[in-house]
Structure 1
Amino acid sequence: MNYNTKIRFDFIKHRNKFFIFSIALTVIGILSLLIFNLNFGVDFKAGTNMDISVGKSTTQAEAKEVIEQAGIKDITPTVGGTGNDRVSARFDEVLPQDKITEIKKLFTDKYGEQVSAEVNVVSPDMAQELGIKTIWAILIASVAIMIYVMIRFEWRFAVAANIAILYDAFVVIALFSIFRLEVDLPFIAAVLTTIGYSINDKIVIFDRIRENLRFGQFKNREQLADMVNASIWQTMARNIYTVLAVLVVALSLFIFGSESIKLFALAKIIGLTSGAYSSICIASPLWLLLKGKQKPKKAVNVSAMP
């Protein structure tokens, strides 16, 4: 069947390679989580986080020296902001108010009265509650998307889409575990928005597959595979432009944004890239795999949609 589409690469033919790569990355991610877990930030681990604006350029060594004067060792603060004038320090314990006041005073004595500090304290109970709510948020989002796709299309599309978006979310989590990047509340927001952007790419391709399926007669699996590959290429330009538009924003935030949003932007970049990959290389081939197991009707006509 001629789809008037220039096929530059046969994604369906090479689907097993994509499956093997994705499974391997998933296994590596699982091992990393089991061995190293995630590098939880103060939002998910009891402790105190101090974000101090000193009003002038400073260095990590100078900031560490000030904190050590308060009797706190083994803390390595980060320095950022415009002109390296902000110091962020995370403490793995809930600091008493007098200790927080002492640290502020030490920074004021060194840098002047323009010093200001923002303090974020998370208790053990609050950290546990945030972790549980995060898991529920991801599960509820996934189930809601599956129900929507099942109503809008059919169950095979729903299963393929949900496996792919969960893979996208897991890729972000796995890479943050492997490279020991800090996981905080903005990271969770990035994972949830990744799921939203990822399903958009998949719906575009699935809609074209459904349209081609509706008006075609497919006598064997090879013809069905050709149709899926053609559908991918028919929507390729739209998907690329959509992803690139958001990637430009995420890259700009990562390069020019403050330290507090860099990891959020990085999680978005990883999620968007994975979403574009999974839409083409996982979701569509998975739907074909599920459709191929459907018992054919009469003249092996797979064009009928539920």
Structure 2
Amino acid sequence: MDYRDHFDFMKNRNKFFTISIVLLIVGIIVTSIFGLNFGVDFKAGTGLDINVGQAVTKEKAEEVFTGINLKPSVVSIGGNNDHVSARFDIILTDDQIKQINAAMVSTFGDKVSQEVNTVSPDIARELGLKAIYAVAIASIAICIYVSIRFEWRFALAAIIAILHDACVVIAMFAIFRFEVNLPFLAAILTTIGYSINDKIVIFDRVRENLRFSKIKSTQDLSNLLNNSIWQTMRRNVYTVLTVLLAAICLFVFGSESIKLFALAKIIGLTSGAYSSICIASPLWYLLKNKSLSSKPRATAVKE
């Protein structure tokens, strides 16, 4: 089926590239100036998750901490407004943790329970390095797989696109100052894994169409790629919407500890669907088109 009357993704590829470049540049600038909002997992400190057993406001929780001269860097309310999350940039001692618990019990009653998460500077550095290694290893493994399964042009386009997806999630978290923690890293890795699935679906159709097409010009290549995208569009949309719906439900109805993971997944899924069509496919088109242009043209035979 010919999809020439549909939206031409190859013709508008520069618009897509511009949108992505602008977003990533803004993310780089914000990250360079302000850095990422690292949670306790990636910097030394103590995190407290306190269930007070009743509805509480952020202001009331902050008053309790102020009353004992222990002011956290971040205080948030979650759950059914009965869950207080407090993040300290210092490592609290056992006495300070007991002091906070006693103050909470005194204010809210005996139903108070708390969970403590403490990370030392050495562990924070180790987690940061392992996060970088994990993303790098996943990217290299995917690149090798796609190179073996398809060809190097597909692999290069795919790896650039999935790195784009990871950077988009990081940029959005940097711009809006969301907390970066271990669930965020899990979301990045699952985004990379899911993103490559979309790209493989499109690339597999491109490869199949190449077997039955004669590509003689740039326009032929553009038509083939646009047709391949539209032939797989319904499957990709349905798949993304299904997973996206689950991620949105986790964000809306999930506990406070999983909300940032769900948010990172929502951003990553959206970026992955976008990059499969608007970044990876045009990149492969540019690489393949360059190989067509480099082929020697047959010289005319003089009579």
When normalised by structure 1's length, the TM-score is 0.94
The runs of 5 or more residues in structure 1 that have no matched partner are 302-306
DSSP-derived class of the 1:293 partner: helix
Q: Which residue of 2 aligns with 1:30?
A: 28
> How far apart, CA to CA, are the structure 2 residues paired with 1:164 and 1:7?
27
1:83-232 equivalences in 2 (<5 Å):
84-232=81-229
Overall identity of the aligned pairs, in %:
62
**What code does the residue aligned with 1:139 have?**
A
Whether contact under 8 Å (1:239, 1:276) holds in the other structure is yes
DSSP-derived class of the 2:49 partner: strand
Q: Which residue of 2 aligns with 1:235?
A: 232
> How far apart, CA to CA, are the structure 2 residues paired with 1:81 and 1:218?
58
> How far apart, CA to CA, are the structure 1 residues paired with 2:18 and 2:118?
43
Deviations 1:144-176 (A, max 9, x none): 000000000000000000000000000000010
**Residues 75 and 209 (structure 1), Cα distance of their counterparts in 2 relative to 1, 3 Å cut:** closer
Whether contact under 8 Å (1:70, 1:99) holds in the other structure is no
Deviations 1:119-147 (A, max 9, x none): 00000010010000000000000000000
The alpha carbon displacement at 1:299 in A equals 8.8
> How far apart, CA to CA, are the structure 2 residues paired with 1:61 and 1:184?
25
Deviations 1:55-96 (A, max 9, x none): 1111112111111122123655212212x1111111110011
Q: Which residue of 2 aligns with 1:304?
A: none
DSSP-derived class of the 2:69 partner: coil
**Residues 268 and 66 (structure 1), Cα distance of their counterparts in 2 relative to 1, 3 Å cut:** same
> Which deviates the most, 94-103 or 61-70?
61-70
Q: Which residue of 1 aligns with 2:248?
A: 251
> Which deviates the most, 291-300 or 113-122?
291-300
Q: Which residue of 2 aligns with 1:272?
A: 269
**Residues 282 and 60 (structure 1), Cα distance of their counterparts in 2 relative to 1, 3 Å cut:** same
> How far apart, CA to CA, are the structure 1 residues paired with 2:263 and 2:55?
26
> How far apart, CA to CA, are the structure 2 residues paired with 1:273 and 1:19?
16
**Residues 150 and 75 (structure 1), Cα distance of their counterparts in 2 relative to 1, 3 Å cut:** closer
Q: Which residue of 2 aligns with 1:42?
A: 40
The alpha carbon displacement at 1:7 in A equals 4.2
Deviations 1:30-57 (A, max 9, x none): 1111111100001001000001111111
**2:284 aligned to 281, 284, 287, which one?**
287
**What code does the residue aligned with 2:33 have?**
I
Whether contact under 8 Å (2:65, 2:72) holds in the other structure is no
When normalised by structure 2's length, the TM-score is 0.95
Q: Does 1:61 align with 2:63?
A: no
Whether contact under 8 Å (2:143, 2:158) holds in the other structure is yes
**What code does the residue aligned with 1:10 have?**
D
> How far apart, CA to CA, are the structure 2 residues paired with 1:165 and 1:69?
48
Q: How many residues align?
A: 298
